[in-house]
Amino acid sequence: MPLKAPISLLLALLLSGGSMAATYTYTYTDNCARAYEHFMSLHLAEGRQAIALERKANPNNLMAVYLADYEDCILLLINCDIDEYRRRAAAMDERLKLLANGDPASPWYRFCYAGMHLHRAIINIRFGEQYKAAFNFRKSYALLKENQRLYPDLEYNNIIAGLLEAVVGSLPGSYKWLASVFGMKGSVQKGTEKLGAFLSTHNSSHPLYAETNLYYLYTRFYLLAEHAQVWQILNDPAFKTKNNLLNTFVKANIALDHRHADDALALLRTAATEPGYSSYPVFDHQYGYALLTHCDTACAFYFSRYLRNNKSDVYIKDAWQKMALAWYVNGRTDKAEYCRKMAGREGTARIDGDKQAARFATSGVWPHRALLQARLLIEGGYYEKALGILQGIDKDRLQHPADRAEYHFRLGRVYEEMAATPGKGQYFKQALAQFREAMTEGKDRHEQFAARAALHTGRIYEQLNMNTEAIAMYNECLNMPDHDFQNSIDQQAKSGINRIEHRQAGQ
Is the pLDDT at 13 greater than 70? The verdict is no
Distances (CA, A) of 157 to 128, 149, 150, 163: 27, 10, 11, 10
Lowest-pLDDT range of 98-102, 343-347, 350-354: 350-354
Identify the pLDDT of residue 170.
73
Identify the pLDDT of residue 177.
54
Identify the pLDDT of residue 502.
81
pLDDT interval class at 5 (50, 70, 90): very low
Is the pLDDT at 499 greater than 60? The verdict is yes
pLDDT interval class at 446 (50, 70, 90): confident
Cβ atoms 124, 130 nearer than 8 A: yes
Q: Which listed CATH number (1.25.40, 3.40.50, 3.30.1380, 3.90.550) goes with 23-257? A: 1.25.40
Is the pLDDT at 16 greater than 50? The verdict is no
What dihedral angle (degrees, nearest 10) is formed by the CA atoms of 228, 229, 233, 236?
70
Lowest-pLDDT range of 75-84, 277-286, 487-496: 487-496
pLDDT, average across residues 439-464: 93
Identify the pLDDT of residue 505.
81
pLDDT interval class at 448 (50, 70, 90): very high
DSSP calls for 110-173: HHHHHHHHHHHHHHHHHTT-HHHHHHHHHHHHHHHHHHHHH-TT-TTHHHHHHHHHHHHHT--G
Please report, as a single letter, which amino acid is at residue 50: A
Identify the pLDDT of residue 176.
58
Identify the pLDDT of residue 11.
36
Identify the pLDDT of residue 182.
57
Q: Which listed CATH number (1.20.58, 1.10.3470, 1.25.40, 1.10.10) goes with 389-507? A: 1.25.40
Q: Return d(Cα 503, Cα 501) in angstroms, integer.
A: 5
pLDDT, average across residues 34-60: 97
Identify the pLDDT of residue 434.
97
- Give which of 310, 242, 247, 323 is closest to 279, Cα–Cα: 310
pLDDT, average across residues 231-256: 97
% of the chain exceeding 90 in pLDDT: 77
pLDDT, average across residues 477-500: 88
Query: Which part of the chain is CATH 1.25.40?
Result: 23-257, 389-507
Is the pLDDT at 507 greater than 60? The verdict is no
User: Which residues lie below 8 Å from residue 308, measured CB to CB, with a gap of 6+?
Assistant: none
- Give which of 52, 8, 15, 56 is closest to 34, Cα–Cα: 52
Is the pLDDT at 144 greater than 90? The verdict is yes
Residue 61, beta-bridge partner list: 25
Is the pLDDT at 50 greater than 90? The verdict is yes
Identify the pLDDT of residue 17.
40
Is the pLDDT at 10 greater than 50? The verdict is no
Across the chain, what does the average pLDDT equal?
91
Identify the pLDDT of residue 398.
92
Query: Model pTM?
Result: 0.88
Identify the pLDDT of residue 322.
98
pLDDT interval class at 6 (50, 70, 90): very low
Q: Encode 127-143 in three state secondary structure.
A: CCCHHHHHHHHHHHHHH
pLDDT, average across residues 209-223: 95
pLDDT in tens, 158-199: 999 999 888 887 766 555 555 655 566 778 889 999 999 999
User: Using CA of residue 170, residue 174, residue 176, residue 182, what is the dihedral sign?
Assistant: negative
